[in-house]
Structure 1
């Protein structure tokens, strides 16, 4: 009797980026630090909602906390193209530690109020606006050319994983202890990140002699991003998804308390569900070795995220809400990380910092406007209706983007092959 064929499953666990000592140090420090950053964000929002009991003020806090990202990202992109990214990144970590330890002290001493939290949140947004473009562009300084592809994918994966996993841990810490412990973790993680960056051995890159002023460099970057179709399309879709979709975390306290009739524990489990979806996305992206096909993920993930928002908004059952947020976390992380990877592969090295600053504007810079709109709409039309509207907009944006997918895929693959041949 002929035996059935044996099916063998081989999982490729090779992560080329970890061959680099610099990247191992960066990963160890930033994985902890970025998780702490997002824990701080959810802790600030929880404290503000507990102090004010106002959806409008919650949206206002989210607006001012992230508005500097939109305003400062282009300037940071110019800095990233003009100056030593290693020194800039180290400086930003030190400033971040000082802000975080201040939050820790005032919270444990009972001095936290709406205005102090709003001001410190704005300072964190100011820092993030300068930090994110430099951080993204720094990948090309950290590893060799042959390791760059996996480093970009892995870097984007863990950064966006921390964006969802951090709030989950923050919600659990708030439920079990107090918001001050989120700030304390963030402060300690900054110290580890500073040590890790200091231990790196970075070869200074050659910086072109600047013959134009800041405004000319910024205009040059805008023109490049606008006239290069793949870059323009990716950034526009990311901006739409960020504006109407990624601000949902601002409304989670309302869903936890008013819709699901829970408290901080419910908030922790909801954010953990979104983080679980993010973990699935991160595992998938981390083991990818090619940029091919990522444009399809970019096209369809916003529609999946929109469907998740609609189910979450209509649900009054806790486990259904969790499943919907798993879908949201999975799709949003895939879109953001895939967009980061494709952009870094197809842009010119001399314009990398500025393009990544536009990426930061669209990904994080649109969020404050989304927070303000979400908080305002939730105040007048209730949080569930607000998220349903955001889900519909995400679906429409995905459909419009998909119509030009064949042409864009051809251009992206051409650009990727040109980078690989250099």
Structure 2
């Protein structure tokens, strides 16, 4: 009797040619993305020395998603997703190269970073939910949970490698190469999209007016609100995203003001976060045949909240790195499990709109979360921010546990259908 290979047993999504090519392209490109994230945060701190001004950058970058994410859904459901991604990935590459040029020539000023952050947010408004909704077309429904977890693995592998490389690169030759390498890295995804072959749907109904877009958006909201299997995880994720997942503000400020570290020290803290996230995503991928579970949803929310409170009492670099690894593990367990539940529970006609709502909850609240975290840190310090945010997350998790019986029934039913 022939035993299944490791790929067949643990990573069935990689057997699909289209998903395999696309995933490899993402692995390369996402490293560049995380290099730019670190470079941009450090650039703003060098230009301004203000955590609050850094929070404004992060807020503006996600502001378009907060305002217009719901309206992106009808567009994504109405056009071929491959064509949309070719456009958005090319636009992201151009923006990264512009930032690289401005930084390299020493022209860069704070207001220029603000403008580029807004433009980046506008492109990501379409790009992010489209990438999530595109996965099922590449992997098929049976391998979807595994594909979602593998995408998260790639994202967090990049989160682990990108910041460390960026920190060393910035100390050695400056910030601009981080942005340049990110711009070049988008070529990997663009080439992958050109090589994959997906069936072009001819029954896509394109909205013909603003009114029709609004009506389709409203329909997506009603569909989500009426489906408690989708709504319950979304609400918990929303609270954690708003108050806790503000790592681009908290970690560089914690590194600089509490631990008194240089940019390389900050980079390796981000790597610790990425390492924990990577192991969480890899674990989820290997266990994906069992489907999403309650321990990953609620356990992730509880774990990240408790770890935030614990971190507020730390001044030791090693302990901080370990706690950030645990925070990364818990936050990815929550977000990836939520992502899988939403895609499995939504039908083909509404999936783009559901994932747009997911991006609104997961990323669209970032402007509010960034302003909240930056303001609290500026006025009261990082420890108070960690304690208050951790307490809010803990309270939300405990309240959400009252729904555990209902959601447990739903997930058990879903997992039986997957077998």
TM-score range, shorter chain: over 0.9
After TM superposition, the structure 1 stretch with the greater mean CA deviation from structure 2, 138-147 or 272-281, is 138-147
* 1:313 and 1:387 in contact (8 A); partners too: yes
Question: Equivalent residues in 2 for 1:16-415 (5 A)?
Answer: 16-163=12-159, 165-209=161-205, 213-415=212-414
Distance 1:299 1:213 in 2: 37
CA shift in 2, pair 1:200/1:11, >3 Å: closer
Distance 1:206 1:409 in 2: 38
CA shift in 2, pair 1:185/1:274, >3 Å: same
After TM superposition, the structure 1 stretch with the greater mean CA deviation from structure 2, 74-83 or 146-155, is 146-155
* 1:89 and 1:131 in contact (8 A); partners too: yes
CA shift in 2, pair 1:233/1:145, >3 Å: closer
CA shift in 2, pair 1:49/1:340, >3 Å: same
Pairwise CA RMSD: 2.0
* 1:83 and 1:207 in contact (8 A); partners too: no
Q: What is the TM-score when the length of structure 1 is the normalising length?
A: 0.92
How far did residue 32 of structure 1 move? Answer: 1.6
How far did residue 108 of structure 1 move? Answer: 1.1
Deviations 1:299-351 (A, max 9, x none): 12111111211222210111111111011111111111111111111111110
Number of equivalent positions? 411
| Matched residue, 1:7 | none
CA shift in 2, pair 1:320/1:352, >3 Å: same
Deviations 1:135-157 (A, max 9, x none): 00001222334333322232233
How far did residue 295 of structure 1 move? Answer: 2.8
Distance 1:386 1:94 in 2: 38
How far did residue 165 of structure 1 move? Answer: 4.8
Distance 1:353 1:165 in 2: 30
After TM superposition, the structure 1 stretch with the greater mean CA deviation from structure 2, 163-172 or 272-281, is 163-172
After TM superposition, the structure 1 stretch with the greater mean CA deviation from structure 2, 116-125 or 407-416, is 407-416
Distance 1:143 1:274 in 2: 28
**3-state SS, counterpart of residue 143 of structure 2:** helix
**3-state SS, counterpart of residue 112 of structure 1:** coil
How far did residue 11 of structure 1 move? Answer: 7.3
Distance 2:398 2:202 in 1: 42
After TM superposition, the structure 1 stretch with the greater mean CA deviation from structure 2, 72-81 or 99-108, is 72-81
Distance 1:161 1:224 in 2: 34
Ranges in structure 2 where 5+ consecutive residues have no aligned partner:
none
Distance 2:294 2:202 in 1: 31
CA shift in 2, pair 1:32/1:71, >3 Å: farther
